[in-house]
Homo-oligomer: A and B are copies of this chain.
Amino acid sequence: MRIGKLAERTGVSRRLLRYYEEQGLITSSRALNGYREYKESHVDVVLQIKGLLDAGLPTRIIQQLLPCLDKPQTIYVPNVTPEMIATLQCEQARLSERIESLTRNRDAIAGYLDTVLSVKAANIQSRATS
């Protein structure tokens, strides 16, 4: 699969795909003509990256993270340094904070919408009965 296809399959622009590669997030083999060649599995990886980026993780963290999130859950657990573990735990905590914050805010919005909409409904009601 070439870059255009991968872009289409993942919704990530060609530009970004090259950028991810430049940042060491993905790799590609090259055809004779120099074109990048991707395997089916890259689709999932890119989607994963997209998700993590969307989650607010910077590329350099994702880069460390990716080898650890492989499907086959390689139990070999190769070179996990204590620093890596610490990084992950830290990142996990930050994610949790972020989630809480987001949830609070979403609920606040929901509450506001509820109020607004019910008041609106009441107004319509009162107009109808007046």
Binding site for B on A (CB under 8 A): 51-52, 54-57, 65, 68-69, 73, 75, 77, 80, 85, 88-89, 91-92, 95-99, 101-106, 108-113, 115-117, 119-120
Contact = CB atoms under 8 A, between A and B. Distances in A.
A95 B99 CA distance: 10
When all copies of this chain in the complex are counted, the total is 2
B54 A109 contact: no
B77 A89 contact: no
Nearest to A48: B105
Nearest to A119: B77
B119 A75 contact: yes
Report, nearest first, the 5 A-B pairs whose CB atoms are least far apart: A95-B106, A51-B101, A55-B102, A68-B112, A92-B109
